[in-house]
Structure 1
Amino acid sequence: MNRKREVQSSVKDESLIAKRRAQMIRGAVTLFKEKGFHRTTTREIAKASGFSIGTLYEYIRTKEDVLYLVCDSIYDEVHARFDALDIEKGSLEVLVTAIGHYYGLIDDMQDEFVVMYQESKSLPKDALQYVLNKEMEMVSLFEGLLADCAESGEVKLSPKEITLAAHHLFVQGQMWAFRRWALRDFTIEEFIELQTQFLLQGMAGEKITIQGVK
C-alpha cells in the first residue's frame, strides 16, 4: 500500500487543518502556474491563501509541503469520484462512466494537473515517489476495468495491450488540461464522448458509437 506522506502541523483540529490547507492549495496553484514553483515564495502563498505567514507555518513546514498537497488533492478527488462506481464488477458501461468521471475531474482541476506535471520534479524524493505511485494506482484502476471487459469479451485486448491502453486513456484525458488553449471549439462533454469513442473503437475491434456522437 502506498502510505500517505505526513505533512506536519502544530494544529490539532483536523477539520481546521483541512480547511486551511484547501485555501493554501487554491492560492498556491494560481501562483505556481503563473510564476513557477521556485519563483513563488511562502509569503506569497500565505497572502494568496488569505492569512499570515505565521499562520501558514502552523499547517505546513516547507514550500514543498504545499506542492505535495496540491498533487495529493488530485488523487483524493479521483478516489472520491470512483467510490461511486462498482469497479469490482467491471463492464464496458462502468469503464465508460469511469472515463467520464476522470476526464470531468481534469476539467474541474485543470490548473492543478498542469502544476503537478510541471512542478512535481521539485518535490523531495520520498514525496515524488509517493506521487508517482499514486498515479500508477490510478492507472491500475483502469487496467482492472479493461481486464474485466476483456474477460467478458466486451473488448479485444491482450494483457500487454490492456496495460498500454490503461496508460493511453489516462494520459489522453490530460490533454484537456495541457491543450485547452487549442481545444476551445470543444465542450468537455464533446471531448469526453469523442475521446471515449476513439479509445474504444480499437479495443473492441469494431466501431462503437457512444450515445450523442454521430
Structure 2
Amino acid sequence: MTRKREIQSSVKDESLIEKRRAQMIRGAVMLFKEKGFHRTTTREIAKAAGFSIGTLYEYIRTKEDVLYLVCDSIYDEVHARLNRLDSESGSLSVLATAVGHYFMLVDEMQDEFVVMYQESKSLPKDALRYVLTKELEMMAIFSRLLKECVVNGDLTMTEREVELMSHHLFVQGQMWAFRRWALRDFTIGEYIELQTKFLLQGMAGKSQFKQEVE
C-alpha cells in the first residue's frame, strides 16, 4: 500500500489538523469545480474554508497539497467501507455488496471524484503518479473479490478477464459522478440495482457466450 504523501504542517494537534484540512477540502472542491484549479487562489480556498490565508498556510504549503488531500479523502473512504469485507471470502453476494458500497460513496463524494480526475492533470508527474497509484490500490479491492469468486467457483474468468473487469467495476461507479447530468431520472438505488444486475449477469453469462461462439 502506498504511504500517504506527507504534507507539512506547523500545527502539532492531529485532531485540529484533520478538522482544518476537512474544511479546506470542502471549500476547495467547490471552487475547483466552479473555476478550475489554476484559476482558484489559495486566498479563495481559505475564505471558502472559513479562515485566513495565514491559517491556511499553517496546514498546507502549496495549492497542490489540497489535491493530495482530496485524493486521500476518497481513498480513505473507499478503504473504510470496502475493507469491512476483508474478513469475508469472495462471493457474488459479497461482490454485489462491495459494488453497492462503492457506488453509494461515489454518490456522496461525486464532486470530489469529478475534481480529482479533472484537475489531477495540474499536478507534476511524480504527484500524478501518486494519485494514479492510489486509484489502482482502490481498484485492487475489486480484483481480490473477483479472484476469490473464481477460486470458490462462483465465476469462471481468466486473470486477464479479472483485471479488465476490476477496471470496469471501478469506472461504472465513477460514471455516476461524470454522467450525473444525464442520469437525473435515476435514483442512486436504481443505478446500483441495475448496474449490479448487468455486471453480475454479464460475468455469469460469459462462459455460456464463449461456448456458443466456439
Change (3 A) 1:123 1:87: farther
- The equivalent residue for 2:96 is 96
Structure 2 contact 106–177 (Cα < 8 Å) conserved:
yes
- How far apart in 2 are the matches of 1:119 and 1:86? 32
- How far apart in 1 are the matches of 2:41 and 2:102? 32
TM-score scaled to structure 2, two decimals? 0.93
Q: How does 1:170-209 map to 2 (within 5 A)?
A: 170-205=170-205
Runs of 4+ in 1 over 4 A off after TM superposition: none
Kindly state the Cα deviation for residue 83 of structure 1 after the two structures are TM-superposed.
Answer: 2.7
- How far apart in 1 are the matches of 2:48 and 2:62? 16
Kindly state the Cα deviation for residue 191 of structure 1 after the two structures are TM-superposed.
Answer: 0.2
SS of match in other structure, 2:32: helix
Gap regions ≥5 residues in structure 2: 207-214
Kindly state the Cα deviation for residue 156 of structure 1 after the two structures are TM-superposed.
Answer: 2.1
Kindly state the Cα deviation for residue 82 of structure 1 after the two structures are TM-superposed.
Answer: 1.4
- How far apart in 2 are the matches of 1:101 and 1:78? 8
- The equivalent residue for 2:39 is 39
- How far apart in 2 are the matches of 1:104 and 1:140? 18
- The equivalent residue for 1:75 is 75
- How far apart in 2 are the matches of 1:18 and 1:25? 10
SS of match in other structure, 2:197: helix
SS of match in other structure, 1:117: helix
SS of match in other structure, 1:78: helix
Which 10-residue stretch deviates more, 117-126 or 72-81?
A: 117-126
- The equivalent residue for 2:115 is 115
**Identical pairs, percent:** 78
Structure 1 contact 156–205 (Cα < 8 Å) conserved:
no
Kindly state the Cα deviation for residue 152 of structure 1 after the two structures are TM-superposed.
Answer: 1.4
- How far apart in 2 are the matches of 1:69 and 1:123? 13
Structure 1 contact 87–145 (Cα < 8 Å) conserved:
no
Structure 1 contact 99–196 (Cα < 8 Å) conserved:
yes
Q: Structure 1: which amino acid aligns with 2:42?
A: T
Q: Structure 1: which amino acid aligns with 2:140?
A: S
Which 10-residue stretch deviates more, 6-15 or 153-162?
A: 153-162
Q: Structure 2: which amino acid aligns with 1:82?
A: L
Gap regions ≥5 residues in structure 1: 207-214
- The equivalent residue for 1:165 is 165
Structure 1 contact 106–176 (Cα < 8 Å) conserved:
yes
CA-based RMSD of the aligned residues comes to: 1.1
Q: How does 1:114-133 map to 2 (within 5 A)?
A: 114-133=114-133
Structure 2 contact 88–94 (Cα < 8 Å) conserved:
no
TM-score scaled to structure 1, two decimals? 0.93
Structure 2 contact 27–45 (Cα < 8 Å) conserved:
yes
C-alpha distance after superposition, 1:10-46 (max 9, x if no partner): 0000000000000000000000000000000000000
SS of match in other structure, 2:84: coil
SS of match in other structure, 2:29: helix
- The equivalent residue for 2:66 is 66
Q: Structure 2: which amino acid aligns with 1:111?
A: D
- The equivalent residue for 2:2 is 2
- How far apart in 2 are the matches of 1:128 and 1:13? 29
